[in-house]
């Protein structure tokens, strides 16, 4: 029984190390999403950090700021969604779909 417990602890430590490595790698991976037919682009990394937002000059209308705000919000939300999906997929490869809380 004690040998099984040691083996289980060793496996848990190995999984934890793999997860930490993947989380670090995901920080360097980027996803991109657009809105307004490509007029607004948001880039987010695997740590769900917004890295950049690009707005095409043609979409900027001082008389319709609300539309620009909506397009930025839509692009950022879609990029964050893609980032979460990327993280979930990569973590699932390690955990085998165990659904460990706090990892995705």
Residue 66 included in any domain: yes
Contacts of 12 (CB under 8 A, 6+ apart): none
Within-domain flag for 91: yes
Q: Is the pTM of this model over 0.85?
A: no
CATH number of the CATH domain containing 74: 3.30.1310.10
pLDDT at 104: 47
pLDDT digits (tens, 9 = 90+) for 84-97: 999 988 888 877 75
How large is the C-alpha radius of gyration of the chain? 19
State pLDDT tens for residues 4-21. 888 888 888 888 888 888
| Phi, psi values for residue 96, rounded to 5° | 65, 30
Domain count, the chain: 1
Contact yes or no for 64/28 (Cβ under 8 A):
no
Domain residue limits at 42: 2-95
């Amino acid at each position: 029984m004690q040998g099984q417990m040691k083996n289980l602890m060793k496996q848990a430590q190995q999984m934890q190390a793999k997860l930490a490595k993947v989380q670090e790698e995901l920080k360097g991976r980027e996803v991109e999403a657009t809105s307004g037919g490509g007029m607004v682009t948001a880039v987010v990394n695997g740590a769900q950090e917004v890295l950049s937002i690009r707005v095409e000059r043609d979409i900027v209308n001082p008389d319709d700021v609300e539309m620009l705000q909506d397009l930025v919000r839509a692009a950022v939300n879609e990029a964050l969604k893609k980032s979460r999906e990327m993280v979930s997929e990569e973590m699932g490869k390690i955990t085998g779909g165990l659904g460990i809380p706090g990892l995705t």
